[in-house]
């Protein structure tokens, strides 16, 4: 089994066909679940890429473990999307991972609206630390990163050494374009967050997400007005 501890710079990995119907995603998921089994978990934000991955994962492992980082700052539409997913895929195990601090406890300790005064600290408390706890028993985790999403994600590969969490990070959708994602969603009539139809290509916490300014940068609506581009889950 390939783990964080056994990874080296030239591991012997299978070749995943980018030319397949799912641009290698189905093959990657089949390999990953065959390789890691129950030691593989999917951390899903329930954005549009997540909806695609949930469909593909359900075909490979219907009872897969799914983690949602419930910051308690999410849009109501996000929670509504999760409920629809539960109905569509009743066998999936969806765990709503909570932060160690409630919003009130966080405000008492660090001040009101930490997301505004220290967004990196807020993300660390409500996303990074909860994910670290949630995936600690696992060897590998799945992410919906795509190369096209931003400059910081262009170097993402199917299998990545995650220095931050000391895991192997599996990214099946790296070669998918925005159009590929939506074609798949419409072809299979999948439920998705309605905010995507209102100018939100990337959906995070309600406090820190606005409609995108440009189609060239699908994450431009995240942390508008600051130089912050990532919540910390995908940075070493």
| pLDDT tier, 222 (very low <50, low <70, confident <90, very high otherwise) | very low
pLDDT reported for residue 228 = 43
pLDDT reported for residue 72 = 97
Grouping H, G, I as helix, E, B as strand and the rest as coil, residue 34 is helix
Q: What is the mean pLDDT of the chain?
A: 90
Cα 134 to chain centroid distance, Å, stands at 13
Please write the tens of the pLDDT for every residue from 19-68: 888 999 999 999 999 999 999 999 999 999 999 999 999 999 999 999 99
Pairing between β-strand 40-43 and β-strand 167-170 as defined by DSSP bridges: unpaired
pLDDT reported for residue 39 = 97
- Is 208 an annotated catalytic residue? no
| Beta-bridge partner residues of 69 | 97
Residue 181 has pLDDT above 80, yes or no: yes
pLDDT reported for residue 179 = 94
Strand order in the sheet with 159-162: 93-97, 65-69, 40-43, 140-142, 167-170, 159-162
Taking CA atoms, 236 is separated from 42, 70, 99, 164, in Å, by: 19, 22, 21, 5
Taking CA atoms, 57 is separated from 14, 44, 81, 148, 211, in Å, by: 19, 11, 17, 22, 29
How far is residue 103's CA from residue 232's CA, in Å, rounded to a whole number?
Answer: 19
Which residue in 57, 50, 5, 3 sits closest to 33, CA to CA? 57
Q: What are phi and psi of 20, to 5 degrees?
A: -70, 170
pLDDT reported for residue 18 = 84
Please write the tens of the pLDDT for every residue from 104-121: 999 999 999 999 999 999
| pLDDT tier, 227 (very low <50, low <70, confident <90, very high otherwise) | low
DSSP label at residue 12? -
Cα 97 to chain centroid distance, Å, stands at 13
10 vs 220, more confident: 10
Q: Residue 96 belongs to what H/E stretch?
A: strand 93-97
Write down the catalytic residue from 44, 122, 171, 231. Answer: 231
Neighbour tally for 30: CB within 10 Å: 17
pLDDT reported for residue 229 = 52
The share of the chain scoring above pLDDT 70, in percent, equals: 89
Q: Residue 159 belongs to what H/E stretch?
A: strand 159-162
Please write the tens of the pLDDT for every residue from 118-170: 999 999 999 999 999 999 999 999 999 999 887 888 989 999 999 999 999 99
How far is residue 114's CA from residue 107's CA, in Å, rounded to a whole number?
Answer: 7
Residue tagged 């799914």 (tokens) = 66
| pLDDT tier, 214 (very low <50, low <70, confident <90, very high otherwise) | low
Structure tokens belonging to residue 218: 């699908």
Minimum mean pLDDT range among 32-41, 137-146, 178-187, 203-212:
203-212
Alpha helix positions (H), the chain = 25-36, 48-60, 76-88, 103-110, 114-117, 119-123, 129-135, 178-187
């Amino acid at each position: 089994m390939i783990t964080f501890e056994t990874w080296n710079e030239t591991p012997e990995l299978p070749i995943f066909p980018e030319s397949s119907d799912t641009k290698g995603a189905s093959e990657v998921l089949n390999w990953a679940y065959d390789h890691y089994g129950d030691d593989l978990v999917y951390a899903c934000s329930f954005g549009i890429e997540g909806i695609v991955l949930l469909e593909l994962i359900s075909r490979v492992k219907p009872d897969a473990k799914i983690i949602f980082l419930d910051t308690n700052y999410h849009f109501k539409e996000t929670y509504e999307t999760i409920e629809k997913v539960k109905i569509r895929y009743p066998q999936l195990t969806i765990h709503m991972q909570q932060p160690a601090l409630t919003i009130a406890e966080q405000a008492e300790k660090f001040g009101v609206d930490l997301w505004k005064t220290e967004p990196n600290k807020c993300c660390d408390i409500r996303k990074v630390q909860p994910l670290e706890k949630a995936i600690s028993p696992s060897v590998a985790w799945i992410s919906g990163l795509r190369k096209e999403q931003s400059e910081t994600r262009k170097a993402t590969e199917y299998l990545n050494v995650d220095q931050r969490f000391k895991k192997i990070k599996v990214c099946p959708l790296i070669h998918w374009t925005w159009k590929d994602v939506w074609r798949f969603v419409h072809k299979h009539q999948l439920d998705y967050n309605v905010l995507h139809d209102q100018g939100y290509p990337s959906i995070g916490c309600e406090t820190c997400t606005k409609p995108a300014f440009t189609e060239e940068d699908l994450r431009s609506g995240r942390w508008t007005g600051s130089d912050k581009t990532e919540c910390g889950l995908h940075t070493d």
